[in-house]
Amino acid sequence: MKDGKLNGKVAFITGANRGLGFETARELGKQGIVVVLGSRDSKKGEAAAAKLQEEGITAESFGFDATKLQDHQKAYDYFAKKYGRLDILVNNAGVLKESQAGSAPNQTSAVSSETLRETFETNIFAPVALTQKLLPLIRKASAGRIVNVSSILGSLTLHSDPNSPIYAFKTFAYDASKAALNAFTVHIAHELLDTKIKVNSAHPGWVKTEMGGPNAPMEPSEGGKTSAQLATLADDGRSGGFFHLGQPLPW
């Protein structure tokens, strides 16, 4: 971390043993925030936390499957007992079950109910349930922050514009799940208007991750910057928005 000191905040990042979640944890850890890495594979989570610890970051690994409600309760119990609150929640865990965006023609008419259910289970039902479970702890923070990791592919405005850069990138289950996640951001942010909690959706960018693929233009090191920015917004920062590197995106 930059100044060698903890700043007193604790963050929980789901799906954090690799890719965007790991880079988000690194960005937050550099700022002196205690980062707790949620990971379905405990061994990979421990290895990821150890790597961050080698960089001087205070990182913890927490075995966590976003789709299991019993793990949501475990997370609540963990933060309640150890910290008595949660300052930052980054709903990062996500799946893309369809062909990589842009690599195949639009197959909306062939998307199976199973693919839709599996995608929505991880990308919308899980973050909604986890946020609801942990919200009492976030309310106890001096200025809680919730970041929903979405995607520009969740923008209905851009998907319906023939001149937009994503117009040809149609992966229905994934795109619809991210649009739903954006709707959750708008609704929960409105509920929390009279609190110090801020909720925003993040588009990390098209990043060279396991999901993003090797043709993505952004390096992994850049992938956590948007989420980290939204997780550390000042008191006068926006809430209920959709952003990429500080720039608003259309819903």
Q: Quick: pLDDT tens for 189-211.
A: 999 999 999 999 999 987 556 55
- 4 occurs within a structural domain: no
- 27 occurs within a structural domain: yes
Q: How confident is the model at residue 150 (pLDDT cuts 50, 70, 90)?
A: very high
Residue 35: beta bridge partners? 11, 59
Q: What percent of the chain has pLDDT over 70?
A: 91
| 122: CATH | 3.40.50.720
State yes or no: pLDDT of 212 exceeds 60: no
State yes or no: pLDDT of 2 exceeds 50: no
User: Stretch 68-77: mean pLDDT, rounded?
Assistant: 98
- 5 occurs within a structural domain: no
Q: What's the total number of domains in the chain?
A: 1
The pLDDT score that the predictor gives to residue 218 is: 59
> How much is the pTM?
0.94
- 92 occurs within a structural domain: yes
The pLDDT score that the predictor gives to residue 6 is: 73
Range of the domain at 115: 10-248
The pLDDT score that the predictor gives to residue 3 is: 46
